[in-house]
Amino acid sequence: MAEEKRELPLLDSCDLLVCGGGFGGISASLAAGRLGKKVILLEKQYVLGGLGTAGLVTIYLPLCDGLGHQVSFGLAEELLRLSISLGAEAEYPKSWLEEEDPSRRTRKDPRFRVRYNPWLFAILAEQALRKAGVQILYGCYGVDTVMEGDRIESVILESISGRQRIRAGAVVDATGDACIAHLAGAPTKVFDQGNVLAAWYYSLGKAGYDLNILGFSDVPSEDRAGEEAPEPLMKRRFSGLDCREVSEMMQHSHASVLRDLQKRRKQDPTLVPTAIAAIPQLRMTRRIRGAYALDPEETHRYFADSIGMVADWRKRGPVYEVPFRTLYAPQVRNLITAGRCTSVTDGMWDIMRVIPCCAVTGQAAGTAAALTTDFPTMDIRQLQQVLTDNGVALHWQELSRC
């Protein structure tokens, strides 16, 4: 590798380097920081939250199975409550936040989901990370790795300071695009179907302040059960892994916002945009091929190495235990993933990419990195005990007691 031929300045060293400050990276950093580890969090934007803030996809999807049982706990619930601690913007789940008797919740209740303000959450998350002792480096982008055998010795980053490196005992790839895994030589898989165009934006007019949802999240073709996909904003799809293509996607998104505003201003001339997405609204791009790939057919399956549970945000009923083996690829021993780039099949990807799942995998990844730097030999019982001590439910049989 060319970078090894010249000495790059060492910016810092840490126990855990977390690459990506979305919900997965936030959760991983909080988990490890609270366990006393020196954590550095790299975020290429200048605001935390990723697609859930800078991307304006501000719907905190369900923590429950839709049948009255909470499924995701720990930091997944803590961050939901944090996101609306200064007030929810919509979909306030009163039966979940104010009802103390779990037995009173049924499939007739709204699901445990909210809509939150992106900027308030970003600042509150930043404060929580600082309290946990996490060092946040904004405007920093991991661009390569320095390897020692099957381990990452350092991550090379670009920033306003130029090209430097950070040495780390362990690394969490929470980039959303498996960027660090790809650079380190771990096996990865691209989302072949590609992403549809989305152009969500906030506006203020006579009807008040609102989130306008143009475009949609796409369900993989194999999971549509014969149903036709909704009409997209445009027929073209985007991989999200080519700089020219992503730049064109953003321009199409901006044009879609403008067209929608011009159309709506015919009825309300006072309407103005208050925020447009600062990052591309991509859902699935690249993930690792890990030690195990979770599949949507494995609902309510027991996994001995479960690190938490998630629900299907699209329909009521399914519950998935998430195996620890989906978080790492054995080829890079001190690298673990969190968020939407964990190891799943294409059908499961659309379920695992959302906020609660990112928080669940993030907490597990950060906790594991606080306990070991060799993830294939992880002591699963020790990891599960620490997660349980921090409020995480591991197996679906526990739900009747929650």
With a CB cutoff of 8 Å and minimum separation 6, the contacts of 50 are 20, 21, 22, 23, 25, 176, 279
What single-letter amino acid sits at 342? T
CB 157 within 8 A of CB 166: yes
- Looking at domain 8-191+285-395, does it have CATH number 3.50.50.60? yes
Q: What is the pLDDT of residue 230?
A: 62
One-letter identity of residue 390? N
The C-alpha atoms of residue 397 and residue 97 are separated, in whole angstroms, by 23
Q: What is the DSSP letter of 250?
A: H
Q: What does the alpha-carbon distance between residue 235 and residue 337 come to, in Å, rounded to a whole number?
A: 32
Measured distance CA(20)–CA(28) in Å, rounded: 10
Question: What is the full per-residue pLDDT of the chain (402 aa) written as tens digits?
Answer: 444 445 899 999 999 999 999 999 999 999 999 999 999 999 999 999 999 999 999 999 999 999 999 999 999 999 999 999 999 999 999 999 998 888 788 888 899 999 999 999 999 999 999 999 999 999 999 999 999 999 999 999 999 999 999 999 999 999 999 999 999 999 999 999 999 999 999 999 999 999 999 987 655 444 445 555 567 788 899 999 999 999 999 999 999 999 999 999 999 999 999 999 999 999 999 999 999 999 999 999 999 999 999 999 999 999 999 999 999 999 999 999 999 999 999 999 999 999 999 999 999 999 999 999 999 999 999 999 999 999 999 999 888 655
Residue 380 zone, left/alpha/beta (φ > 0; ψ -120 to 50; rest): alpha
Is 356:74 a contact under the CB 8 Å cutoff?
no
Residue 335 in 3-state DSSP? strand
Q: Which residues contact 59 (CB under 8 A, 6 or more apart)?
A: 91, 113, 114, 115, 355
Taking Cα atoms as reference points, which of 297, 298, 320, 316 lies closest to residue 399?
320
CB within 8 A of 331, min separation 6: which ones?
A: 150, 185, 186, 187
Strand partners of residue 211: 202
Distance CA 23, CA 214 (A): 23
- Calculate the CA 362 to chain-centre distance: 8
List of residues 6+ apart from 263 with CB closer than 8 A: none
Residue carrying the six token digits 């201003």: 265
Helix (H) or strand (E) holding 333: none
What pLDDT does 105 receive? Answer: 86
Q: Is the dihedral of CA 3, 22, 301, 373 positive or negative?
A: positive
Give 9's DSSP letter: P
pLDDT score, position 396: 92
Contacts of 337 (CB under 8 A, 6+ apart): 172, 173, 174, 178, 181, 287, 288, 290, 327, 328, 343, 361, 365
Taking alpha carbons only, the member of 383, 276, 382, 292 closest to residue 330 is: 292
Cα(13)–Cα(276) distance, rounded to whole angstroms?
Answer: 36
Q: How many helices (H) and strands (E) does the chain have?
A: 9, 16
d(CA 234, CA 229): 13
- With beta carbons less than 8 A apart as the criterion, state whether 368 and 322 touch: no
What does the domain layout of the chain look like in residue ranges? Answer: 8-191+285-395, 201-276
- What's the confidence (pLDDT) of residue 28? 98
Confidence (pTM)? 0.94
257: nearest Cα among 180, 197, 333:
197
- Residue 3 is predicted with a pLDDT of 45
Contact 238, 299 (CB under 8 A): no
